[in-house]
Structure 1
Amino acid sequence: VRVLRPLIDEAGYIEAIEDPNAIVITDTLANVDRIVAIATTFDGEAEMDAEVIRFTYAEAGTVATAISEVLGAAGTGARLSVDASSNVLLVRGTQRDISQIRSLARAMDTSPRVAQSETVSTSIYRLQFGEASIVADLVRNTLTGSTDLTNPVAASVGEDPANPDTKIFAVGPEAAPISPVSVQASIETNSVIVRGTQRQLSEVSQLIKALDVRRPQVMIEAAIVEVSGDIAERLGVQLGIGENSQTGGIAATSFGNGGGALQNILVALGQSNAAALSTGLSVGLASDNFGALIQALNTSTSANLLSTPSVTTMDNQSATIVVGQNVPFRTGRVTTDGGNVTEVIKREDVGITMVVKPRITAGGVVQLEIEQEVSSLTNQAVTGAADLVTNRRVINTTVLAENGGTVVLGGLITDDRLQSNQKVPLLGDVPVVGHLFKSRSDSRNKRTLFVFLRPTIMLTRADLEKAAETRYRRAQSAETAVQPRSILKQEKVRKLPLEIDGLY
């Protein structure tokens, strides 16, 4: 009242009443309104209120800063306080101010807009050449490594020290979380199923595209031959030295395009028409010098061509060829409680076994990992042997060969010596004179095993068709060869069609 009394007109009146804490004013209407407005400002503390505003999506500190900038320092008498730990905003002011601030805060508390690149979706990638399970494992292992993508089944990139169960993904901006990506394989449809954001799917798509490529294939032709006597020694010399080689003479076990090596080998095998053959063993499918070598080995009386296997396999994929018998061997005996004895049998392959793994290197050079075994049952009795006895010759090596070139593995020598005595009973045992009634013979058979290999890279369908056509023509040539006549009635054999397409 003491503050407001100077504002009262001379004819006016103002008085304070303690109970009920009110002011009585008598004056003109305009002056009364002016004094009431001023008095209300002095009575603001009694009308102040407080409210706690909680947020679901927005940060309390960000909202408080934005409201203060919008309303300005003189726009309201309300006071704002932020509790960051609980993400709440404390407001103290009049109900009008609190209502205004509450409306602004609610308008700002909305879910953040998700960028198109962070939208989670699912994509299915149908593979053309790769195997779904292998590609999925490669992608999954890549994502759990040094990339910014993470698979939920893999180990976490990091952990929060305060909460070990919380996964930390160090990707992009520090405040931008990333959802995990899931990679699964569908064996039935040979597909890879990926669920993640658009950015993750884009990276996974590029990775799958790089993995799902057509792998080149390698056709490996082999000739396994046994050469006996001095022919083996002469053939070994020809394998080591090619006098007419364009590269300077030394051909070792990988023949170049020089023609001397092949001609010298055929001469050593007793082929009189060796000079008419084309030069070089390192040729493509257009030439068939490897076929000429096979023919020479097959017709030579000094060589025993054991097998001519061939196999086609993918790059960096092992292939196995087994030509022989599965022979049972006794490995032990088991005695039952009733006294019955049962023999333990184990079957093993006896014959020709070749395991080869090609790997195409730079420049079209083929690296061959070879395991070659030639085994056979022996007819000779071995003292102390419990069962069958086998002869084994094994080559285990890694070599390099040019595309279409031939490499030779050899040097496995078998030296069989047989001594036999025959005599007339009683007379052959007579001293001195008994030598006239008995005979003694010593025989020695020395055989050397050589393995010829020729890898051919096939990158396209045309290469496969060309290889099939070449081998088909070779089979036709063997069929049309003159067969010895016989007086016996022979069954009519179906002939091969002129074209390979006629087989199907």
Structure 2
Amino acid sequence: MSKITYAILLLMIAIVAVAPADAWTERTSAADAQILVLQKGRSTVIEADEAFSTLVVADPDIAEAMATSNRSFFLRGKVPGATTVLIYNAAGEISELIDVEVELSLDELRTDLGNLLPGERIDVYPVHDGIFLDGKLTTAAAADMAVQVAERYVPGGVANGLSVGQSQQVLLEVRFLEASRSAVKEIGFGNTMDGRDAVAVTEPSTVSGLASKTVALFTNVGGENIDIELRALEEKGIVRTLAEPNLVALSGDTASFLAGGEFPIPVAAEDGQITVEFKKFGVSLDFMPTVLGDGLVNLRVRPEVSQLDRNNGIRAADVEIPGISVRRADTTVELHDGQAFAIAGLLQNDYSNDVRQTPWLGNIPVLGSLFSSKRYQRQ
């Protein structure tokens, strides 16, 4: 073998031995990629280790890069997620890899929660495409507010892990009363029931296991307890108690009461079939309490008094369907523990016309009005 042939053989062996080393070096640099955490909407300037010719963002929807020189570039996070920035040198080789993680900016959210709910411990953690709220709060209202504030930052992306330290219950004592307006005015009682002279007084009473005292419907009118007066009027038949329920509900839940019944209504269905639906009537009440803290309760109340009204009914398929006369109110109040409130004005008008006349003479045309009297009465 000549010296020239031997030299060529040694050169080929050297090339074969060096090539795997170069490939391993490239994989090693890819494995040693930098990790950069960037907040959504924030940007930073990155200095490259050497001059580059090309920048490539694997997922441009998550982040965007723009070169400011051949050694630096501008990087901005667009939406939460993860992507990779590939930096190519002048030879077209990958010189650097940067793994970019874009997260939500939670500092402002933490500040808002601290200002709106002082004293509450709320932890905020970023998760994929959203945030996670954790902590134990004093009231359910505080937990609801925290979720609503977080939804402003990440609509539809809030995972609620908040809990309330103790279940809170509210007991509501209710009295549904019906009075004849004319009978009340005849005894002079209605003149004082205009709300100006009524003062709410606290009648605290507790039930075992309840966090809140009762809301008792007692007022003072002219220094006398109206509850005593109402019972006296009830004994005389002027005032009638329709229902007197006691309702208990968890804070944030709804309690319902119905004293009445249901009547069937035929409803046309598919293929000409007739089905039956039932409509409720009577005395009903829905209320939803929310304990706000410091003895304050937000109370949404919906009382309703309804009865069958055959004068406004209809006839369908030889079936007489009565109408429903409804008196309803829907209101929201805030009361302290033990306070009372009243809702009035669910009126029903009944008119009567009494004619009194002198026998025979009252029937004479024109002159008969001189021998008769009429009395209109509204109940």
Q: TM-score, normalised by structure 2?
A: 0.48
More helix by share: 1
More strand by share: 2
Q: Based on CA coordinates, which of the two structures has the bigger radius of gyration?
A: 1
